[in-house]
Amino acid sequence: MSNNRIVAVGYLVLAVLAGIFLQEVFLKVFAIASATQPMTTEHDFLGYEKLRWSYCTLIGLGIAFSAAAWMYRSARMHEVSLEIVAELRKVTWPSAVETRAATVAVIVASLIAACLLGLFDVFWQFLTDKIQNPSL
């Protein structure tokens, strides 16, 4: 897949995710005032019963896709995106076995650190109790 296609697909995916986020934001904002109820009510668009969107969905997706189109057409943004894809193609990604080994190492190290910190905590609590109340 070419770098241009990866950038275009990336912009589309980010636009969809941003549109869904903006839809939820607009639903929360417009739900506050009762005068904006038509904005949050779902409608059948294009006469298709399963395509029930509110105006908040259309506004959110519209803003997100407009921003994605602007970023794609912006020479500087497009150049930076292509550079990012080119750099990511140079990355040597670890294999599944290496990833699994590193994950196990991190889990084991975290458990050892948790045990040591727990022991230190118990020791210092005991020492603090003895200093504050020597009769214990």
Return all residues near 88 (Cβ < 8 A) that are at least 6 apart: none
Domain holding 83, by residue range, is 1-91
pLDDT 10s digit of each residue in the chain, 136 long?
A: 788 899 999 999 999 999 989 988 888 887 777 666 666 666 666 666 666 677 788 888 899 999 999 998 999 998 999 999 999 999 998 999 999 999 999 999 999 999 999 999 999 999 999 899 877 6
pTM: 0.60
- The domain total for the chain is 2
Domain termination site, one of 72, 91, 110: 91
Return all residues near 42 (Cβ < 8 A) that are at least 6 apart: 52, 53, 54
Same domain for 84 and 107, yes or no, is no
